[in-house]
Amino acid sequence: MSETTASASAASPNPPHPGKMLRSMLESRGWTQDELSTITGWSRQTIGAIVGGRSSITPSMAIALGAAFGNDPADWLQWNAQFELSMVETDDRGAVERRGKLYSLAPITDMQKRGWITESSDVSDLDESLASFFGGPLDQGIGFPVATRRTIHLDELNPWERAWCFRARQLAKFAPVEAPFSRNRLASAERELRKAAAFPKEIRKVRRILAEHGIRFMVIEPLPKTEMDGAAFWLDDDSPVIALSVRFDRVDAFWFTLFHEFKHIEHGDAYSFDSNLLSERNGKITVLLADNDAEQRANVAAANALIPADELTSFVRRVAPLYSTDRLIQFAHRMQIHPGIIVGQLQHRGELGYKAHRELLVKVRAIVTGTALTDGWGQSISLSHP
């Protein structure tokens, strides 16, 4: 094939069938189809079907034609592919591209399973449902509105974690409060929460305590690929929100995460989205080192609110390494806190292994979901009737 012919075929908006190029090459060489059959070893019927545009070029045929005419076999496959692509209906291309973009923005399948968005594969329905979920046109970027008239982008979170946070904001509008929020009453809220931390069954009071102090509270089951532990943010300057995932069903993890988010509210932090605040390895949960001052401040404040650091240090000096169950329970009684919380903090300090006193690390998820606004674990929420 001449360079002129190749150039013209590449530039053509409707690429010709490669059989047309083969016919041109046969004519330029003065070969008949029978002669090409003899040269390549392919049948006369196969050659004729290609020249007549009734058959495509296979990889084996491309190798034979490339050898016969001295060009690259890949050229024959490329010309064949260009022709076949030109024959395909392209009406759905835009819809496929849009659907691909939507699936990259959000975990659509998982969100549909949870009832967060419409169960549909129609691109228009998906676009509308996601725009409603995220609160605006997707092409303008996904922004998370927080108090102080700010909009932030959760770029550090993966799509599953970002969707979890937006679900929290969505449901926060339906979470009940029983009194206006006042920063002057946060100390009262902390005292009541700290008192509830003495017994697992008292966790059922958490929603009421926070609601009575103007703080919205909810529990949302994490999506797959989500390591979200909790979030604290503001719907407006007088509407703080705490959302937990209860990813680790342990008394110590629950209370530390709750107080961590509470401290963000107390410190006036505009928002906190805690992905992987807690990490588990071999059944041992630790608090990861914070990467900014606000998170580190909340970590320290939460731990101290539960067990003052000097009290825990004094206990370690007196008892280590013989942490018997009796000594742990005695210390818990003196601190008026559940012994499982002590076990958790001692694990974090490296004083206890992950197998030690696991009977004290009681499960609490069923207790908190029994009273809190809950989305997940078999409970679903209609936005019109939470």
Task: Please name each of the domains of the chain with its CATH number.
Answer: 3-87 (1.10.260.40), 97-140 (no CATH), 147-375 (no CATH)
Q: Across residues 207-218, what is the average pLDDT?
A: 98
Region class of 95: left (phi > 0), else alpha (psi between -120 and 50), else beta: alpha
Confidence band of 335 (pLDDT split at 50, 70, 90): very high
pLDDT at 7 over 60: no
Per DSSP bridges, beta strands 150-152 and 144-146 are antiparallel
Amino acid at the residue 40: T
Q: Across residues 247-267, what is the average pLDDT?
A: 97
Residues 6+ apart with CB under 8 A from 230: 242, 243, 244, 245, 257, 258, 260, 261, 272, 274, 277
pLDDT at 241 over 50: yes
The Cα 63–Cα 51 span in angstroms is 17
User: Do 295 and 327 touch, CB atoms closer than 8 A?
Assistant: no
pLDDT at 356 over 70: yes
Q: What is the mean pLDDT of the chain?
A: 91
Q: Across residues 44-62, what is the average pLDDT?
A: 94
Which range has the worst mean pLDDT, 33-37, 139-143, 191-195, 296-300?
A: 139-143
Q: What is the pLDDT of residue 323?
A: 96
Q: Across residues 339-343, what is the average pLDDT?
A: 97
Q: What is the pLDDT of residue 281?
A: 78
Render pLDDT for 76-106 as a digit per residue (tens, 0 to 9). 999 999 988 888 766 577 888 899 999 999 9
Render pLDDT for 100-156 as a digit per residue (tens, 0 to 9). 999 999 999 999 999 999 999 899 999 999 999 999 888 888 999 887 678 888 988
Q: Across residues 16-20, what is the average pLDDT?
A: 93
Q: What is the pLDDT of residue 3?
A: 38
pTM above 0.75, yes or no: yes
Q: What is the pLDDT of residue 89?
A: 67
Q: What is the pLDDT of residue 179?
A: 96
User: Do 294 and 233 touch, CB atoms closer than 8 A?
Assistant: no
Q: What is the pLDDT of residue 148?
A: 67
> Residue 90: CA atoms inside 13 Å, Cβ hemisphere, count?
4
pLDDT at 209 over 90: yes
Q: 325-335 vs 309-319: helix axis angle to the nearest 10?
A: 150
> For residue 269, what is the DSSP state?
-
Q: Across residues 361-367, what is the average pLDDT?
A: 97
Q: What is the pLDDT of residue 53?
A: 92
Q: What is the pLDDT of residue 292?
A: 84
Which range has the worst mean pLDDT, 50-54, 121-125, 139-143, 254-258?
A: 139-143
pLDDT at 249 over 50: yes
∠ at Cα 358 (354, 359), nearest 5°? 175
